[in-house]
């Protein structure tokens, strides 16, 4: 009886240790050679399973078509055939919530020392969250800097996504994988816009 009890205790200890090690591994940033191929494998998986195109921004169109009946031709289609996309986005949202609550690493976000020095000149030194607390908070939202970063940036992301006919998922992952010329053009514009904003526009906004 004692041996059975000891065996059960040892098994419980081993399982607890393995779970702790797994959680600790999940909390660490995944290297590019793991995360990159996993994202890329979404393309052939969706094509083989149901000849589906990987994309995120199209889910907003499906939601609007389902929840906002109107005479706009853009929303006049059988959105139910694309409902799988809504489940995909819901899974991404749920995964983000689970990660943010149970798998978020307590350590500060690792930032390149050169970048940290540059950001310190703009008063950004708190790296305990995924985004700098000095920029993304309710008080900053109602300032010129906050309006430009959060509202202005959010609007441009949404407008640019629809104007380009897709987001980075649809164009840079799915489109490039299937050799789509519009996706190559869109991806080049994404990259060029990112370099331009990060090096010239963002520093100007941070000085406000």
Domain boundaries along the sequence of the chain: 1-30, 31-104, 135-208
Work out the pLDDT band at 109, boundaries 50, 70, 90: confident
Work out the pLDDT band at 6, boundaries 50, 70, 90: low
Q: How high is the pLDDT of residue 192?
A: 94
More confident residue, 68 or 118: 118
Q: How high is the pLDDT of residue 7?
A: 52
Residue 131 has pLDDT above 90, yes or no: no
Choose the weakest-confidence range: 6-20, 26-40, 191-205: 6-20
Q: Rounded distance, CA 118 to CA 200, Å? A: 13
Q: What is the pTM of this model?
A: 0.75
């Amino acid at each position: 009886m004692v041996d059975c009890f000891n065996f059960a205790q040892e098994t419980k200890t081993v399982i607890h240790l393995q779970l702790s090690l797994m959680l600790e591994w999940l909390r660490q940033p995944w290297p590019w050679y793991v995360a990159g191929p996993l994202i890329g494998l979404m393309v052939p998986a969706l094509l083989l399973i149901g000849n589906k195109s990987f994309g995120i921004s199209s889910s907003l169109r499906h939601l609007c078509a389902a929840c906002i009946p109107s005479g706009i031709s853009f929303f006049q289609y059988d959105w139910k055939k694309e409902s799988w996309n809504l489940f995909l986005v819901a899974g991404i949202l749920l995964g983000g919530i689970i990660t943010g609550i149970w798998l978020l690493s307590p350590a500060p976000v690792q930032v390149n020392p050169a970048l940290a020095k540059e950001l310190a000149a703009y008063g950004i030194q708190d790296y305990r969250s995924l985004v700098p607390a000095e920029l993304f908070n309710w008080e900053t939202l109602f300032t010129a800097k906050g309006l430009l970063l959060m509202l202005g940036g959010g609007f441009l992301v949404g407008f640019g996504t629809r104007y380009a006919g897709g987001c980075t998922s649809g164009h840079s992952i799915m489109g490039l994988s299937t050799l789509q010329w519009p996706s190559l053009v869109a991806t080049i514009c994404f990259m060029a816009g990112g370099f331009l904003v990060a090096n010239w526009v963002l520093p100007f906004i941070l000085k406000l």
